[in-house]
Amino acid sequence: MTETILTPEAPSATKPGTGPDIIPGSNTRKVFVKTYGCQMNVYDSERMGDALSRDGYETVDSVEAADLVLINTCHIREKAAEKVYSQLGRLAKLKRQRNAEGGDLMVAVAGCVAQAEGREIIRRAPVVDVVIGPQTYHRLPEALARARNGEQIVETDFPAEDKFDGLPNAPEKAIRARGVAAFLTVQEGCDKFCTFCVVPYTRGAEVSRPVGRIIEEAVRLADAGVREITLLGQNVNAWHGKAEDGREWGLGELIRRLATIDGIDRIRYTTSHPRDMDEALIEAHRDLPELMPYLHLPVQSGSDRILKAMNRRHTAEDYLRLVERIRAARPDIALSGDFIVGFPGETDADFEDTMALIREVNYAAAFSFKYSIRPGTPGADMEDQVDEAVKSDRLTRLQDLLAEQTRAFGRECVGKVVDLLLEKPGRNTGQLIGRSPWLQPVIIDAMAGEIGDIVRVRITQPGTGSLFAEVVE
């Protein structure tokens, strides 16, 4: 499904609680934020929204109602990156229309495409006023002010200052509006340089946020009614920091500390790299009921030859032994993974190794992709690029297997009694949707509780992409 930011939507007011205190009908600037890519982009978009609301912007949920369109982009695969340009084409048309009517429209491009392509974006799409990379979001209000004077701004440094220090915290009201489960970035960037991946170039080197800041933010979230936090990082388990007592902590110790915060009942983290799963983190899974039994642990391939060419720096066997250790510590843990098919040089035999690994691990969920050439990465220059038709065929087979494993996992859940965090109303009236410990959306009768409650339920039947459950007295 292709998303477009220009689907006609009824012009509507501010999302409840996300804007500053404004008088309706006053001359407030209005921003429409469209987010692509990973959860970190979702988090960053929220933080940019906070910064803009301090700057007098109100968030609206359609392009038509906006004076500023901010697109937070993803560069991970070619399709994701190219989508931006078709949207910018449509925005150029809208801007011309506005200008003809004596109005205006500003366009800002943030995120990983902004970082990777910089000024090239303005060259290809002169409608753009501001290009701003992920490490300079604290400079967004200033960049917009300069752009309003007619300059076209490109901000893509990796500055020494910490962007989070420069970004205002969300007002409690805004956090409440976002719901009972929230993201919290603890680590950003990547030093791993997998040969297929743009992230080390778009997000920069690995940086860990300091312990104190993370705890402060978690407390603030809890005070605003958040009960579940998902710690984010491109390599979240590479997070490390100096603890309050001067000791060096890893993610396991950090989670142990966060679990003591009143009101934080559930903790998750993503995305982890197999090489950074240390003993303390595995012990945290063993010991902490707050740490949900779900782990996203991408492996990409089951072939040692391909893993080596990808620079993953572990073998299939290393991964399988790691999974064994994690399951020994937390037997009910559900695993998910990422897979790439058709990496340069991948033969049928390599692909079968991946299928064999998937059968051995048995995943509860997974994401899988055809290898996409990314300019500037070592993979782009490799010989033996795999035929598109072969990639498609492998992807279908791999996804069939993974989908069957996910369905089987859903079926196995029937009859189990689990705690659900109720997050939002269901599609049908009279229903609420909660998350199981294994991250599955679960539908229950709305009479069972209120959003924000954690209720004990019995899973009654699997649905498509979700499960049904009833409350256990």
Write each residue from 90 to 129 as x if it is in contact with ligand SAH (CB under 6 A), else as -, in one continuous string.
----------------------------------------
366 binds ligand F3S (CB under 6 A): no
Measured between alpha carbons, how far is 436 from 230 in angstroms, rounded to an integer? 14
Looking at residues 249 to 308 of the shown chain, list those that interact with ligand SAH (rule: CB under 6 A).
271, 273, 298, 300
234 binds ligand SAH (CB under 6 A): yes
Q: What is the DSSP string of 251-315?
A: HHHHHHHHTTSTT--EEEEE---GGG--HHHHHHHHH-TTB-SEEE---B-S-HHHHHHTT--S-
Judged by CB under 6 A, the stretch of 121-129, 194-202, 304-312, 400-408 that binds ligand F3S is: 194-202
User: Least distance from C-beta 37 to ligand F3S, angstroms?
Assistant: 3
194 binds ligand SF4 (CB under 6 A): yes
Judged by CB under 6 A, the stretch of 96-104, 186-194, 244-252, 340-348 that binds ligand SF4 is: 186-194
- Asked if 311 contacts 193 with a C-beta cutoff of 8 angstroms, the reply is yes
Write each residue from 51 to 80 as x if it is in contact with ligand F3S (CB under 6 A), else as -, in one continuous string.
-----------------------xxx----
202 binds ligand F3S (CB under 6 A): yes
Instruction: Pick one of ligand SAH, ligand SF4, ligand F3S, none as the site partner of residue 193 (Cβ within 5 to 8 A by kind).
Output: ligand SF4
Q: How far is CA 40 from CA 132, 143, 163, 184, 438, in A?
A: 16, 22, 14, 9, 20
User: Least distance from C-beta 75 to ligand SAH, angstroms?
Assistant: 9
- By CB under 6 A, name the one of 234, 336, 354, 405 that touches ligand SF4: 234
354 binds ligand SAH (CB under 6 A): no
Q: Report residue 274: phi and psi, to 5°.
A: -55, -35
Instruction: Pick one of ligand SAH, ligand SF4, ligand F3S, none as the site partner of residue 369 (Cβ within 5 to 8 A by kind).
Output: ligand SAH
Residue number, 9 or 338, with CB nearest to ligand SF4:
338
3-state DSSP assignment of residue 73: strand
Beta bridge partners of 134: none
Neighbours of 411 (CB within 10 A): 13
End-to-end CA distance of the chain: give it in Å, rounded.
Answer: 41
Per DSSP bridges, beta strands 68-73 and 29-35 are parallel
User: Least distance from C-beta 163 to ligand SAH, angstroms?
Assistant: 19
Instruction: Pick one of ligand F3S, ligand SAH, ligand SF4, none as the site partner of residue 374 (Cβ within 5 to 8 A by kind).
Output: ligand SAH
369 binds ligand SAH (CB under 6 A): yes
Q: Which one-letter DSSP state was computed for residue 329?
A: H
| Backbone Cα Rg of the chain | 23
30 binds ligand SF4 (CB under 6 A): no
Instruction: Pick one of ligand F3S, ligand SAH, ligand SF4, none as the site partner of residue 285 (Cβ within 5 to 8 A by kind).
Output: none
Residues 6+ apart with CB under 8 A from 52: 31, 59, 68, 70, 140, 141
- Per this entry, what is the length of the chain? 473
- By CB under 6 A, name the one of 208, 235, 336, 436 that touches ligand SF4: 235
Q: How far is CA 188 from CA 17, 202, 207, 239, in A?
A: 28, 11, 5, 9
User: Least distance from C-beta 26 to ligand SF4, angstroms?
Assistant: 43
- Helices 388-413 and 348-361: angle between axes, nearest 10 degrees: 10
Instruction: Pick one of ligand F3S, ligand SAH, ligand SF4, none as the site partner of residue 77 (Cβ within 5 to 8 A by kind).
Output: ligand SAH
273 binds ligand SF4 (CB under 6 A): yes
Residue number, 256 or 273, with CB nearest to ligand SF4:
273
Residues 6+ apart with CB under 8 A from 166: 137, 138, 139
User: Least distance from C-beta 190 to ligand SF4, angstroms?
Assistant: 3
Q: Report residue 67: phi and psi, to 5°.
A: -95, -20
- Asked if 234 contacts 189 with a C-beta cutoff of 8 angstroms, the reply is yes
Residue number, 202 or 405, with CB nearest to ligand F3S:
202
Helix (H) or strand (E) holding 117: helix 111-117
Looking at residues 70 to 89 of the shown chain, list those that interact with ligand SAH (rule: CB under 6 A).
76-77
- By CB under 6 A, name the one of 197, 259, 335, 422 that touches ligand SAH: 197
Measured between alpha carbons, how far is 34 from 69 in angstroms, rounded to an integer? 8
Beta bridge partners of 184: 231
391 binds ligand SF4 (CB under 6 A): no
Binding site for ligand SAH (CB under 6 A): 76-77, 196-197, 199, 234-235, 271, 273, 298, 300, 338, 340, 369, 371-372, 374
Binding site for ligand F3S (CB under 6 A): 37-38, 40-41, 74-76, 111-112, 198-199, 202-203, 234
Binding site for ligand SF4 (CB under 6 A): 190, 192-194, 197, 199-200, 234-235, 273
